[in-house]
Structure 1
Amino acid sequence: MLVSREGAGRARDYQHDMGAAAAIAGREGGRRGFSRRGWMVMASLTMDVVTTIGTGIVIGALLIIGGLLIGVWLGRRGNAAETNQQLRAHELLEMIRALSSWTHGMAGEVTQYETHLRSLLAGSSEPGGTGESPWLEEILKSNEQLRVRLQESERLLDEKAKEVDSYLSEARTDTLTGLPNRRAFDAELARRFAQWQRYGTPLSIAIVDVDHFKKFNDTYGHLAGDFVLASVARALADTVRDSDMVARLGGEEFAIVMPSTAIADGAHAARRFCEAIRGKTWEFEGIALKVTVSVGVAQAIDSDLAASLVKRSDQAMYAAKETGRNRAYFHDGVTSQPVGDSPARLSAASRSGVPAHLESVCDGLRERLIEVTRK
């Protein structure tokens, strides 16, 4: 809880410094008697001093709250549900960044205020000055201390933001392959599925599973298995478009989110995935290693939820395994079909990927295009 303790200390210290400055100002005013200009300066600074004291208190309070949130989050992150954990972490990161930005801005305002005080102090030191120097010097000193503390607060907040940001990045990345993990895949799928529902943009999902992987591990060992999984991940990532996401779901299973992809194109992509892995040979500790994959692909259709789209892709992948592995199947909304054997089925499945509420719009556009081309 370093942040919260330092935050509380800053608030207390600044209150004490500004209180001392105010006391000196009062003593000087009573003992020496201010000129008219002196009292006007004092009045003009009163609200600024009160505001600055309030700023110190607010910063201290916010840092205490930030420290408490960070402490609670770090303490519970191993036990909380993953989805809620990610949500809280994102909210905390945004809060820290906003507070850091606010602190940076406040430090700039304090610097401007300090410049104003220095000009007043310079004026009071001139011949015929009003003699406000002692209390101005104390306020100036306190202001400088606040500026330094604000800068330190900003540094601490930036450190915490980097810590949370690093955690979020690690939490969404598979450590073995460097690919996005299941959590990141679910988030991307939800985003793309929402786009499909709203705009009718085609969306296809492919599930890729390494064939006979348990036997491979038993034969070559887990280190070789890990090496091959990382190699398969790189090969898949090199095969997809920039807009696609390749993720590792777990074990030897991968998934590819393919936005703006109807089933015909998705099926061709699935075939490329098979060919890309089939054509690779990897060397590990002097041993040449080869594997194959089974791929299932499905396009979002009107009856789908995100989960059912993944399920249909999974069913197509298992159909590929059951018929010999090292091949790709697509799900047309009813059954699984081998890629390349059913062009008519692919065409029908592509059409079924249009959400029902947009189908009439598409039909109207299609008819209009036919009319225009006939002319």
Structure 2
Amino acid sequence: MESVSTIQFSTFLIGMTCGVFPLLAGLWIGIKLMRDSHAPAESSAAEAEKAAVILQRMSRFMHGLAGDVHEQRDVMATIEERIDDARRTPSGSKSLEQAIELLKMMNDANDGLQDRLKRAESLINEQTEQLATTLSEARTDCLTKLFNRRAFDEELQKRWAMWKRKQRPFCVLLADIDHFKKINDKHGHLIGDAVLQSIAKTLVHTTRDADYVTRYGGEEFAILLPETEFDKGNEAALRIITAVREQLFCVGDVEIPLTISVGVAQVADLNGPEELVAKADEALYAAKSGGRDRGYYFDGQRIVSILPATGDQVEPAREFHEVCADLRTRLMDATH
């Protein structure tokens, strides 16, 4: 009687585990994807097709696993029936042989199911990684390997929500490569692409690990600085401007001096994240209009030039290297 109870309990445990396994697997995939990635609001047709193929593959496997579970239950039911028969008609040594045979059948069935469960776990991990990769590719700029505009918009919405709930400050920086069209026209788009990649690396190396650097579009970049007031945002903008100015871009015999303009805005009581970006864009436009190779910021009421730490509301005296950079820029303008 004890052996029958053990078999029944084993059958119940295996059946319950296998019956809920597909459901748990689906829930696990969903939770992992939501945790590891921010799914884009709209997916392209190619992304949707990739996801559909993966889900169809998972569906076929789960149907196969359901068949395996059904077969396992049949095997366990057969074992139970044979145990009952053996109990009703005991026959000495033959009963022992039957018991050994039944135990072997049960072990083989359990081992087979365990192998299939391990394969299922491996498949889930593999397909989850594929889905995560698909989502990551949808949020990455293929040229610079930075996050793209879609990823920026998603992160901006998240930061804005944190600001509304907990007043967690952050800054938005918009940066635009100066005279990029002239670089493209003179040297070609391959050199232009290399310039974009070089600037992207400079931005990553100049900012913090926690900062969110994205290619916003064309030659424009957007950076989210979490937990940052505008004074620190301005310092970050100056570091970027200085790093790009001091970098001489070289490809083969081609040497191109580069500069960048930056606009900064700190989150405030605005009508929404779109207005925050618009204020950073106004500051960027002011930097472009003010001579490029400089930064401006929105102080909550107006657009102001980024000044040294003294806080004086005057244009700072220009260093020698700044004068050289300006002359170099004018020379480029004159030769196009």
TM-score for both structures, normalised by structure 2 = 0.68
Equivalent residue for 2:10, pick from 33, 44, 48: 48
| Aligned counterpart in structure 2 of residue 237 of structure 1, from 204, 212, 215 | 204
Unpaired segments ≥5 residues, structure 1: 1-38, 68-76, 104-109, 111-116, 118-123, 347-375
Query: Quick check: 2:264–2:284 contact (8 Å CA) kept in 1?
Result: yes
2:173 maps to 206
| Alpha-carbon spacing, 1:155–1:278, altered in 2? closer, same or farther (3 Å) | same
CA deviation string 1:191-217 (max 9, x = no partner): 333333333333211100111211210
Q: Give the Cα separation in 1 of the matches to 2:157 and 2:3.
A: 60
What's the offset of the Cα at 1:297? Answer: 0.5
Kept in 2, the 8 Å contact 1:181–1:247? The answer is yes
Cα distance in 2 for residues equivalent to 1:299 and 1:66? 38
| Aligned match for 2:141, one of 154, 167, 174 | 174
Residues 194 and 79 of structure 1: CA distance in aligned 2, closer, same or farther (over 3 Å): closer
Cα 1:323–1:64 shift into 2, 3 Å: closer
Q: Count how many residue pairs are aligned between Structure 1 and Structure 2.
A: 272
Q: Is the 8 A contact 1:243 1:258 kept in 2?
A: yes
Q: How does 1:1-375 map to 2 (within 5 A)?
A: 39-59=1-21, 81=43, 129=96, 131-340=98-307
Whole-angstrom CA distance in 1 between matches of 2:144 and 2:205: 13
Classify the secondary structure of the residue corresponding to 1:132.
helix
Cα 1:323–1:141 change in 2 (3 A) is same
Contact between 1:332 and 1:345, CA under 8 Å: does it hold in 2? no
8 Å Cα contact 1:278/1:293 also seen in 2: yes
Measured in 1, the distance between the counterparts of 2:177 and 2:100 equals: 80
Q: Do the aligned partners of 2:249 and 2:258 also contact (CA within 8 Å) in 1?
A: no
Letter in 1 for 2:186: T
Structure 1 residues 203 and 54: CA distance shift in structure 2, 3 A: closer
Q: Does the 8 Å CA contact 2:270/2:276 hold for their aligned counterparts? A: no
Contact 1:316 1:330 in 2 (8 A): yes
TM-score (norm 1): 0.62
Identity rate, percent: 36
Pick closer, same or farther for the CA change 1:262–1:44 going to 2, 3 Å. closer
* Structure 1 residue 140: Cα displacement: 2.1
Tell me how far apart the structure 2 counterparts of residues 191 and 64 of structure 1 sit (CA, whole Å): 26
* Distance (whole Å) between structure 1 residues aligned to residue 226 and residue 42 of structure 2: 32
Per-residue CA distance 1:314-370 (angstroms, 9 max, x = gap): 111011112222211111233322222897698xxxxxxxxxxxxxxxxxxxxxxxx
CA distance in 2: counterparts of 1:180 and 1:313, whole angstroms? 19
C-alpha distance after superposition, 1:201-235 (max 9, x if no partner): 33211100111211210110111001011111111
Shift of 1:285: 2.5
- Comparing 195-204 with 166-175, greater Cα deviation is found at 195-204
User: What amino acid is aligned across from residue 303 of structure 1 in structure 2?
Assistant: L
Instruction: Give the whole-Å Cα distance in 2 for the aligned partners of 1:211 and 1:171.
Output: 28
| Richer in helix (by share) | 1
Write the letter of the residue equivalent to 1:146: L
Runs of at least 5 residues in structure 2 that lack an aligned partner in the other structure: 30-38, 66-71, 73-78, 80-85, 87-91, 314-336
AA at the equivalent of 2:282: Q
CA RMSD of aligned residues (A): 4.1
Q: Describe the SS at the equivalent of 1:247.
A: strand
